[in-house]
Amino acid sequence: MKKVLGITNFLLLIMLIASVRMSAAQLIDVDWSQLHQLKLDSPPLDVATTPDGELIFILMPGKVAVFNKGSHAQLNQIPLEAGYNRVAYADDAEMLVLTNSATRELKSLRIRRVFDISVEGSPYMGFEDAPVTIAVFDDYECGYCARMEATFSQLLAQYPQKIKLVIKQYPLRNHPRAREAAIAAIAAHQQGKFWEVHSQIFANQKELSPQKLDEIAESFELDMTQFKQDLLSQKVLSLIVRDVREGQRIGVSGTPTIFINGKHVDNRSYENLSRLIEQELSKQE
């Protein structure tokens, strides 16, 4: 009898727990509001998005239409053979995976985001209207950034008239002198001496005191009165704030972060950068 009561009590306990869980589940409600609505030119078969929702991939007969969440506009269209009816996005590999149920075929496509990076007002070296723009988010206390300078010099020598190297300021919070160094570099930019000061800041990145930054500026015969004013100017500060906010928007988390024609570069070796430049140049032919 005790065993029967024990089993009965156990079953009652399970039912009580289930009842509590169901009661809790019933308290959950859903609110909704329409974000946007798209008019498509073909019937949609499947849809996938990037994890942040910025890109929407809509599979249609014979193509994948790529839309942007913010503008709701179609950015691109990827042609496909007929028959593909499922699509998924693999974020880690930046890969679009498509399957054809009828033929049991699978197709994977590498998806590279192309960011619109503002270069207006930023210091650059190379040909202004070059077909390839290399945008570099730099930090003056970053040793890797300093070492990349030699690689960029090689690329500028190899591709004269073909590339434009743009420096974007991205001082990291854990580098206490980087922000002041960035301000000094952009203040020098106002007098046309960015690259000279830029190089010397990297050469002295272990001792970037305000006195050292002044010493570097003086060594290139800058107007020091104007330089001091520019260190505090809204124009200089706003350019740095713009770069930092833009970097945050497009996912820059460390330095140096490099983009070639708006596409993020994973491998910063000279060989890989040269290969990517060649790829971009071949698209211009």
Buried b (16+ CB within 10 A) or exposed e, 96-108: bebbbeeeeeeee
Mean pLDDT of the chain: 90
Domain shared by 86 and 142, yes or no: no
Domain shared by 271 and 180, yes or no: yes
Domains in the chain: how many in total? 2
Mean pLDDT for the stretch of residues 164-183: 97
Lowest mean pLDDT among 22-31, 45-54, 185-194: 22-31
Say which DSSP state 64 is in.
E
Q: Is the confidence at residue 211, as pLDDT, over 50?
A: yes
Assess if residue 228 is contained within a domain: yes
Domain shared by 181 and 278, yes or no: yes
Q: Residue 53 sits in a domain of what CATH number?
A: 2.40.10
Q: What is the pLDDT of residues 67-115, one digit of tens each?
A: 887 767 788 899 999 899 999 999 888 899 999 999 999 999 999 889 9
Domain coverage including residue 63:
46-110
Q: What is the pLDDT of residues 121-142, one digit of tens each?
A: 999 999 999 999 999 999 999 9
**Is residue 225 very low, low, confident or very high in pLDDT (cuts 50, 70, 90)?**
very high
The candidate with the shortest Cα–Cα distance to 219, out of 236, 202, 196, is: 196
Residue 4 has a pLDDT of: 47
Is there a contact between 132 and 165 (Cβ–Cβ < 8 Å)? Answer: no
Residue 1 has a pLDDT of: 46
- Quote the Cα angle for 153-147-119, to 5°: 60
Classified as helix, coil or strand, 30 is coil
